[in-house]
Structure 1
Amino acid sequence: MSMIRDLRAAVRPVRRRERSGAYKSVREDGGARSAVVDCAVYRAGRRCSEALSPADALRRVRAGDGQEFVWIGLHEPTEQEFSGIAQEFGLHPLAVEDAVQAHQRPKLERYDDSVFTVIKTLHYVEHAELTASSQVVETGEVMCFTGRDYIITVRHGVQGSLRSLRHRLEDDPELLAKGPSAVLHAIADQVVDGYLAVADAVQNDIDEVETDVFSPPGGRSARGGDAGRIYQLKREVLGFKRAVSPLLRPMQLLSERPMRVIDPDIQNYFRDVADHLTRVTEQVLSFDDLLNSILQANLAQATVAQNEDMRKITAWAAIFAVPTMIAGIYGMNFSYMPELEWKYGYPAVLCTILAICYAIHRGFKRNGWL
Structure 2
Amino acid sequence: MARPVLPYGRQTIEDDDIEAVVAALKADFLTTGPMVEAFETAFAEKVGARHAVACANGTAALHLAMLALDVQPGEAVIAPSITFLATANCARYVGAEVVFADVDPMSGLMTPDTLADALKRVGDRKLRAVLPVHLRGDVADLPGLAALAGDAGAVLVEDAPHALGSTMTFGNVAERVGDARHSAMATFSFHPVKTIATGEGGMVTTNDAGLAERLRIMRSHGMARPEGAEPWWYEMPEPGFNYRLPDILCALGLSQLAKLDRFAARRRALAKAYEKALAPLAPVVRIAARPAWSDPVLHLMCVLIDFEAAGVTRREAVDSLREHGVGTQVHYIPVHRQPYYRDRYGELDLPGAEGWYDRCLSLPLYPGMADDDVGKVAEALKAVLKL
TM-score > 0.5 by shorter chain:
no
Larger radius of gyration: 1
TM class by shorter chain equals under 0.3
Compute the TM-score of the two structures, normalised by the length of structure 1: 0.24
Which protein, 1 or 2, shows the higher relative CO under an 8 Å CA cutoff with sep ≥ 6? 2
Query: Which structure has more helix as a fraction of its residues?
Result: 1
